[in-house]
A and B are shown apart, each in its own frame.
Chain A
Amino acid sequence: SAVISQKPSRDICQRGTSLTIQCQVDSQVTMMFWYRQQPGQSLTLIATANQGSEATYESGFVIDKFPISRPNLTFSTLTVSNMSPEDSSIYLCSVWGGPGSTDTQYFGPGTRLTVL
């Protein structure tokens, strides 16, 4: 299975600021996914990040609010811009398994964001 790490694990931020979350995978993967999990809720897909192309955003999410970078096949960042308390959530990245194991999707530990 793919091993995924995220930084930071948690943060407390002020309204109006931005936070960049990093996701690192231990193998090369074609696509990486970013999810949001609001308190007590399920996971909602924000966008799909492909290396070498712009991210594809789901309905309700826009690039200006959640810019994503994908500089190589093992790394991606998600920025939460101009934050408000409604952005307080857990942000998770995920990938389908690396070479030899592409059958399921694995998740990182998440970044717990609190916006004051």
Chain B
Amino acid sequence: GESVGLHLPTLSVQEGDNSIINCAYSNSASDYFIWYKQESGKGPQFIIDIRSNMDKRQGQRVTVLLNKTVKHLSLQIAATQPGDSAVYFCAENRDRGSTLGRLYFGRGTQLTVWP
């Protein structure tokens, strides 16, 4: 299940299960959102993005849902694998209308996948 640790919330799942990672963003004017995966000792790696004119976008094994009414993002990972174990961050672009804007990051969730 999901719990809040000293630093990052954690989510533990069994290999093969689906994972859902949630994120609340703060600025209603944000128009672009990105999910990143960060493995230990590495920089954040792009997973999937979504613009504010959409409410759902699918990639390979991943889906992002955007609920602008409650300012909420979720990342769904299908058939979670041990290699998915990492910290996942959502980020919002608050420089509305600019594709070269600044990103502001959510708190992050530590996903652990058990074999």
- A-side residues, CB < 8 A to B, are 1, 4, 30-31, 33, 39-45, 48, 58, 92, 94, 96, 102-110, 112
Contact call A42/B89, Cβ cutoff below 8 A? yes
- Not counting A42-B106, A42-B107, a sample of 16 additional A-B residue pairs whose C-beta atoms are within 8 angstroms of each other reads A1-B46, A30-B100, A33-B103, A41-B8, A42-B108, A43-B89, A45-B103, A45-B104, A58-B102, A94-B103, A96-B100, A104-B46, A105-B34, A105-B91, A107-B36, A110-B42
> Does chain A have a CB within 8 A of B43?
yes
Residues of B within 8 A of A39 (CB): 7
Q: With a CB–CB cut-off of 8 A, which chain A residues contact B25?
A: none
Q: Are A109 and B43 in contact (CB under 8 A)?
A: yes
Is the CB of B31 closer than 8 A to any CB of chain A? no
A-B contact pairs, 26 of them (CB 8 A): A30-B100, A31-B100, A33-B102, A33-B103, A40-B8, A41-B7, A41-B8, A42-B89, A42-B106, A42-B107, A42-B108, A43-B44, A43-B91, A45-B103, A58-B102, A96-B100, A102-B100, A103-B49, A103-B99, A104-B46, A104-B49, A105-B91, A107-B43, A108-B43, A109-B43, A110-B42
Shortest beta-carbon distance, B106 to chain A, in Å? 6
Q: A42-B105, A42-B108, A43-B89 are in contact. Are A107 and B7 (CB under 8 A)?
A: no
Q: Give me the 5 closest cross-chain CB pairs, A-B, nearest first.
A: A40-B7, A107-B43, A43-B105, A42-B105, A107-B44
Shortest Cβ distance from residue B110 to the other chain A in the assembled complex, whole angstroms: 9
CA gap between A68 and B99 in the complex, in Å: 23
Interface: B70 (CB within 8 A):
no
Chain A residues lying within 8 Å of B42, measured Cβ to Cβ, are 109-110
Query: With A41-B7, A42-B89, A43-B89 in contact, do A105 and B43 touch (Cβ < 8 Å)?
Result: no
